[in-house]
Structure 1
Amino acid sequence: MDGAAIMEQLMSPAGRADPYPLYELARGLGPVVPSGRGLAMAVGYREVHQALRNPDLGVVDAEQRERWEESYAEHPSQLLLSRSILETNAPHHHRMRSLIASVFTARRTAALAEPVTTAVHRLLDEMAEQGADGSPVDFMDAFAYRLPVGVICELLGVPEADRARFRPLAADLAAALEPVADESELAAADEAAEELTQYFARLAARRRADPQQDLVSALVEVAAADPSRLCGHELLANLVLLLGAGFETTTNLLGNGLARLFEHPGTLAAVRAGTVTPSGLTDEVLRHDSPVQLTVRVATTDGVRVGDEEIPRDGGVFLLIGAANRDPLRYPDPARFDPTRQDSQPLSFGGGPHFCLGAGLARLESAIALPALLDRFPALAPAPGATRRDRLVLRGFQTLPVTLR
C-alpha cells in the first residue's frame, strides 16, 4: 500500500482497533510518507519530534477549517474547539495559554499528591466492596474514569454531584477531534458541546458572584479584568477543554497500562516487587500504547520540510505519535514492553507550544494509582468482555472488566 491507502486503512474500524501493523507498513516507506495531495504522514521519532517544535507548522485553526470545510462553523463542537488553545496558533494561542498556565501551575499540580493518594484509596475501597463476591468490576468505570475526573473537577471547582455526567459528554465531544467522523457522531458531539458550554456558563456566572479557590474562579477573574486577554467564548471553550483533556488522556493511560501489565505478568510482578519505578512504568505505557495516537500540523509558510518531504503552504502532515514512539531508530526492540528503558521521552504529550498543560498531573495520577491498585489486589486478573473505544486519535478502552480475588 502507498501512504494514502495506509491513511485510509488507519481510519477504518480495523485500523482504529489496532493501528500498529499499519504504522509498520508506513515505516517501510520511510520516516515521512506522502499520503495524498498536499498531505504527508510522519512515523519517525526524530521527524515527529522536530515537527512538533517547528514554528512554521501550526495546528488546524479556524482559518484553516474555513478554507478546508466551509460548514465547520455550523457544528458547535468544531466551533468550540477552534476557540480553545487546542486549535489556535500564535498570537492568540500564546495569549490564552499564558493565562491558563499562570493558574494551572506545576506547584498546584505537585500539591495534589496527597489528595490524589486519598482519592485512589477511596476508589480502591469502593472497588473492593463492588467485587467482594467475586463478580467482575469494570476498571474503566469504577476507577480509570472516576479518579482523573474527580481530580480535574476538584481543580476546576465542579461540584461532586455534577461529575458523573461528564464521561459520556466528553466521549461524544472527542469525535470532533477525529480525522473522519460521520454525521451521527458529529451530531452527538454538537449536543455535547452545547451542553458542556451551557454548564460552564452557569458555573462561571456563579463564580463571578461568589469566587472560590478554584481554576474557574481564577480564569473568570482574569476574563472580567481584561476581556481582550480572554473573551467570554474563549473562557468557556478552554474550560470545556480543561475538563475533557483533564481526564480523557489519563483515563486511557490507566486502562492501557493495566491491560499491558495483564499481557506481561513478569512486569506486573516486578511492579508489585518494587523493581520497576512508577515513573518508568508510566513512561513505557505512554510509549508502547499512547493515549494520544496522532495530531495534525499545517505548513504556514513556503518551503517547510518534515524530514526529506516538503510540505506545501497550507499542506498538512499527520504526526503519528503512536508510530514515532515505536521507532526502532530511537528504541531498541520497540515492540517489547519494557518499563526499565532509560531516557524514554515518549512524544505522547506533544511538544513545542502545544505541549500538554496537564502532562505533570497525568503522570502524577498514574504513578500513584497503578502501584496502589496492584498492591491492594494481589489476585487482580482480567475478566472477559474488554472493549476498545472506536477512536484513532484518543486510544483507550471503553470497558476493562477485572476480578479482584
Structure 2
Amino acid sequence: MRSELLADGPGRDIARRARRNRLTRAAQWFAGLEADPYGLVLRAGTGEPTAAEEAVRARGPLHRSTLTGTWVTADRAVAREVTGHPAFDAPGPAFEAHGGDPPPFRSAVLTLDRAAAARLAPLTAFGGPLLWARDAACLEKRAGTWSRTLLAALGDRFDLAEDFARRLTGPVLAEQLGLPEAAHERFSRLLPDCRHILDAPLCPQTHATARAAEAAETAMAALLGEALHDPTADSVRAATVMALSAAEPTAVLIANAVRLLLDEPGGWRRLAADPERAGEAVAHALRTAPPVRLETRAARSALTLAGTELPPGARVTLLVAAVNRDPLAAPDAPPLGLCADLHFGLSAHLVEPLARGALRTLAENLPGLRADGDPVTRLRSPVLRAPASQPVASGPFPELRP
C-alpha cells in the first residue's frame, strides 16, 4: 500500500515536497559554504545577518546569487524600482515558473498580485466592511486595552515574545473583524500556528512544521468563512490575508522595539518616563530591525534592472534592513517598511498602531522592565528573524493605570 501511495497520490506529493525541501535547504547551505552572502542570510541561524547583508551591497546594486537562482539588492534605488515596476507583479519565488517539485509549504492565500491586492484592500481599510476601528488611533487604543488585560495575568517574569506579543494580536484582530465571542479563542489559537508562513517560501521549514502551518492556514480560512458577518469569497480572502500577514510581523516588531530599548543604556527608562515616545521607538525599530527583512518579487516579463537584463520568471530579493542602511540614501529617507503592493497592502496599516499601543502600555505599566536572559532567534527565519523566546522581568508589578 505504501509503495502505491508513493507512486501516485498523496504519498507521492508528500515525497516530492520532502525532496524539494532537502534540495533547497542543501543549496542554501552550500551557497553559504561557498561564501555567497545571500546563502548566508538564508541559512538563517541565530547569528546577526548584517555582515552578510553588507557583503551583498559590496557586490554592487544587483548581485546574482548563482546557487540560489536569485538576484539580491541592498540598494534603495533598486528596491524602490522593484516595488514600483509593473513587471514585478507577483510574490516570489516563482517555483511554478521553473517546473520544479513543489515547495514543502507555500501559503495558498499570500499569493496576491497587485491587481488583486488593490481590489481587496478597501475591505480591510479603517472604517471599511471588515475592520471595526475607524482609524489608526482607535486601533492603537484597543491594542493598549488588550495589552493591559494580558499584563494583568502575567507575573514578574515572562516571555515577551510568546506570553505577550504573540498572544496580543489574536484578540485584537478577532475584535476588529467582528468575530463572535465563541470564535475568538480558536482564532487566537490558530494565529501563532501560522507564524512560519512568511518565512517558508524562502527558507524550507522542517516537514512537520510545514504541514502544521498548512493545516493552520486552512483552518483559519474555514473559521473566517463561518464566523465573518458577511462571508463572501472576497471578504474571507481579505480577512485571511490580513490576519496572517499582520499577526507575526506585529509580534516581531513589538519584540524588536523592546529589545532595542533594553540594549540601549537608559533606553527603557526614558520611554517609561515618557510613554508618548512609543511611536518614535516603533519607527526606530522599523528602520533598524524591521519585522520583515526579505521581500521577494518574481518578474512576469523581461526587463532591465540596474543595467542588467532579467528574463521572465527572474527572482529579486530586497534586503529591507540593508536598504534602510543605504549610505547613498538621504538621511531623512523613510524606511522601506512593509511593501504594501501585495499582501501587506491589506495589513501594513495595522502593524504600527498595534505595536505603538502595546509598547506604550508596557512602558506605562512596567517601568522596571529588563532582560531576564538572552533572547533566542528562531531557526529558519530569514524573512522575519522572529524571536523564539525573549525572557524579561519586571520586578514588583505596579498598579495598572486606567
TM-score range, shorter chain: 0.7 to 0.9
2:79 corresponds to 1:48: yes
Indicate how the Cα distance of structure 1 residues 330 and 104 shifts in structure 2: closer, same or farther if over 3 A, else same: farther
Give the 3 Å change call, closer, same or farther, for CA 378–279 of structure 1 in structure 2.
closer
Letter in 2 for 1:270: R
Which residue of 383, 388, 391 maps to 1:401?
Answer: 391
Q: Is the 8 A contact 1:175 1:189 kept in 2?
A: no
Question: What does the per-residue CA deviation read over 1:36-92, in whole Å, with 9 as the maximum and x for residues that have no partner?
Answer: 286310111222122111122122379x442235553x96x53623xxxx3222544
Mapped pair 1:24 → 2:50? no
CA-CA distance at 1:295 after TM superposition: 1.2
Q: Map of 1:5-404 to 2, 5 A cutoff?
A: 5-14=36-45, 17-36=47-66, 39-60=70-91, 64-69=94-99, 71-72=101-102, 78=106, 80-81=108-109, 86-101=110-125, 102-103=128-129, 107-127=134-154, 130-131=155-156, 136-158=157-179, 159-203=183-227, 216-218=228-230, 220=231, 223=232, 230=234, 236-274=236-274, 277-305=277-305, 307-330=306-329, 343=332, 345-352=334-341, 355-390=344-379, 391-404=381-394
Q: Tell whether the 8 Å contact from 1:197 to 1:240 is kept in structure 2 after alignment.
A: yes
Query: CA–CA distance in 1 between the matches of 2:116 and 2:150?
Result: 40
Residues 1:274 and 1:329: Cα distance change in structure 2 (over 3 Å): farther
Structure 1: distance between partners of 2:130 and 2:275: 33
What's the % identity of the aligned pairs?
23
In structure 1, C-alpha distance between the alignment counterparts of 2:219 and 2:63, rounded to whole Å: 40
Give the secondary structure class of the aligned counterpart of 1:314: coil
Q: What SS does the aligned partner of 2:118 have?
A: helix
In the alignment, the residues of structure 2 paired with residue 26 and residue 173 of structure 1 have an alpha-carbon distance, to the nearest angstrom, of 25
Q: Report if the CA contact (8 A) 2:254-2:355 is conserved.
A: yes
Deviations 1:327-363 (A, max 9, x none): 222366xxxxxxxxxx452112114455543333222
Describe the SS at the equivalent of 2:86.
Answer: coil
> In structure 2, do the counterparts of structure 1 residues 297 and 61 end up closer, same or farther at CA, with 3 Å as the change threshold?
closer
- Partner deviation per Cα, 1:215-265 (whole Å, 9 max, x = no partner): x324x2xx2xxx6xx3xxxx5444332222231111000001111111102
TM-fit CA distance, 1:167: 4.2
Structure 2 residue matching 1:171: 3-state secondary structure: coil
Structure 1 Cα separation of the partners of residues 367 and 344 of structure 2: 36
Tell me the distance in 2 between the aligned counterparts of 1:383 and 1:371: 20
Tell me the matched-pair count: 356
Q: 3-state DSSP class of the match of 2:209? A: helix
Distance in structure 2 (CA, Å) of the matches to 1:344 and 1:103: 34
Q: CA deviation at 1:280?
A: 1.9
SS of residue paired to 1:327 = coil
What letter corresponds to residue 66 of structure 2 in structure 1?
Answer: G
Secondary structure of the 1:304 match is strand
Q: Distance in 1 between matches of 2:115 and 2:365?
A: 48
- 1:284/1:344 contact within 8 Å kept: no
3-state DSSP of counterpart to 2:266: helix
CA distance in 1, matches of 2:382, 2:163: 24
- 1:378 corresponds to which letter in structure 2? P
Q: Quickly say closer, same or farther: Cα 1:54–1:174, change in 2 above 3 A.
A: closer
Q: Following the alignment from structure 1 to structure 2, what is the Cα–Cα distance between the partners of residues 99 and 160?
A: 20
How far, CA to CA, are the matches of 1:69 and 1:383 in structure 2?
Answer: 48
Whether the aligned pair in 1 keeps the contact of 2:111 and 2:343 (CA below 8 Å) is no
The two structures, once aligned, show a CA RMSD in angstroms of: 3.0
Q: Structure 1 residues 331, 382: CA separation in 2 closer, same or farther (over 3 Å shift)?
A: farther
Whether the 8 Å contact between 1:177 and 1:393 is mirrored in structure 2 is no
Scaled by the length of structure 1, the TM-score of the pair is 0.78
Q: Secondary structure at 2:392's aligned position in 1?
A: strand
Distance between the aligned counterparts of 1:138 and 1:175, measured in 2? 22
Gaps of 5+ in 1: 204-215, 333-342
Q: Aligned equivalents of 1:152 and 1:304: distance in 2?
A: 41
Give the 3-state SS of the residue equivalent to 1:296 in structure 2: strand
Distance 1:355 1:52, change over 3 A: farther
- Seen in structure 2, the aligned counterparts of structure 1 residues 55 and 104 have a Cα distance that, compared at 3 Å, is farther
Q: State the Cα distance separating 1:157 from its structure 2 match.
A: 3.2
- In the alignment, what sits opposite 1:336? none
CA distance in 1, matches of 2:275, 2:393: 25
Residues 164-173 or 138-147, more deviating? 164-173
Contact 2:142 2:357 in 1 (8 A): no
Within 2, Cα distance between the matches of 1:185 and 1:311?
Answer: 34
